[in-house]
Amino acid sequence: MKKCVLVWLSCFFIFSVSAQGIKDLEKATIDVAEKVGKAVVSISTVVKEKVGEWKFESPFEDEFFRRFFEEFFGEFPEREYKRVGLGSGVIIDKDGYILTNEHVVSGATQIKVKLSDGREFNAKLKGVDKRTDLAVIKIDAHNLPVAELGDSDNLKIGQWVLAIGNPFGFAIENPEPTVTVGVISALHRYLPRLGRRERAYDDLIQTDAAINPGNSGGPLVDLNSKVIGINVAIITTSGGYEGIGFAIPINRARRILGRLIRGEKILYGWLGISIQNLNEDLRSYFGIKEKKGVIVVKVFKNSPAYKAGIKEGDLILEFNHRKIKDSRQLVREVTATTPGDMITLTILRSGRKKEIRVKVGKRPEDIEKLSYYDEGEGYEFRGLRVENITPYLKRKYRIKENEGVVVVDIESDSPAEKSGIEIGDVVLKIEGEKVKDKEDFERITSQIKGNCLVKTNRGYFVLKER
């Protein structure tokens, strides 16, 4: 009998503790919803789009078919349509500054904001950043409730969170935001399929708190009522919630918030290289035991990396003496660097470690239009890269000579750079032997050991051994 009573009492104690825990959690979520919900707004936008008036449902509707009609009947007349968009935002300053997603307000000719108390305002766009998909808008209001920003660097998987926003335009009828509860399912998610080329959906917070259309731009909040992320996207096969949502870490927003409020353009660092992670085979081939480093696949012409002498096949092991684990880490390090700053890359080339100083550039907006430098375009000797004389190079460097090779690139801190030879020079002789073309240059230099004398169209120079 005693045994049964003890078991029953134990079960009762566990149930009591569990019930108290549930009550505490319930109270915490209610408190968060009430506190932060006041600072969440509904955003509606109007975007004007021009669309061809004639629309064909035929299977032959393609570019050729369109051109055929335009040739005989003229261009398709265009009509202007208005598209309405819905999203959410969170008030970050009592004087009307609101943080949201860039894609919520992108291209909008009209932005309207409805507060949780039902008041409506026209909003002005203050600043946008397509890469992080963040934007700041402002309304003419004061003494507004503000959501406190938290710290997204110390999040834990399994941590309870709330997603607050205005899905499906419910705020049109009822201005109070919708609250859903879940946990942090994963951290540092990378979603290249969700982003356009200029957007970088990297390092995202994954949650199972329900996020639906219209939630974009709303806050993801912890149980301390602090914003830890901005809801941005879901993965779905149905168009609705399926348990996988994503938020931009708030610390990413913190870094650029001041500039967005001031309407400044957000600049990101850029090296101008295409990189690849090292798999086991590559690490074994290069003799690298640790899981670190990336390999340079391509180098953009005239990019910071190109000018510093980074080459295809170089392994980048460290950035400012911090070990590089993978390509995503290197991209984060570079983009977080202010354009114009000098950084040090530790590389491995031909089995030897080397440090190269690079002046970080500004990431171009039309990066897809840039071309890569083909390592096979010229022959390299002691940092000197040459090409055969072509009509294009003759015009570019105002070359009078018809024989010789043109210096098209000089590696930074190489014997060639130290010798005084310049890009555009024409190499005529090496060690007294005439150079007619690249084949001569390669044949002669392959046999040279020690210092050598080079004659160019500007005079003589000594190329020292590395």
Catalytic residues: 103, 133, 216
Burial class (CB in 10 A: 0-12, 13-18, 19+), 282: middle
Which is nearest to 383 in space by CA: 316, 310, 322? 310
Q: Report how far residue 128's alpha carbon sits from residue 261's, in angstroms, rounded to the nearest whole number.
A: 9
How distant is the alpha carbon of residue 177 from its chain centre? 30
Strands 294-300 and 245-249: unpaired
* Other beta carbons within 10 Å of 108: 21
CB 153 within 8 A of CB 165: no
Which is nearest to 126 in space by CA: 144, 114, 138, 115? 138
Which is nearest to 129 in space by CA: 251, 329, 267? 267
Residue carrying the six token digits 């040459």: 386
Q: Report how far residue 428's alpha carbon sits from residue 395's, in angstroms, rounded to the nearest whole number.
A: 18
Residue carrying the six token digits 């210092």: 451
Report in angstroms the alpha-carbon separations of 322 from 292, 333, 439. 11, 10, 42
How distant is the alpha carbon of residue 225 from its chain centre? 29
Q: Report how far residue 6's alpha carbon sits from residue 2's, in angstroms, rounded to the nearest whole number.
A: 6
Report in angstroms the alpha-carbon separations of 299 from 275, 310, 311, 334. 9, 8, 7, 15
Which is nearest to 247 in space by CA: 260, 261, 232? 232
From first CA to last CA, the distance across the chain in angstroms is: 91
CB 105 within 8 A of CB 165: no
Burial class (CB in 10 A: 0-12, 13-18, 19+), 461: buried
- Calculate ∠ Cα 364-367-372, nearest 5°: 115
Q: Report how far residue 429's alpha carbon sits from residue 455's, in angstroms, rounded to the nearest whole number.
A: 5
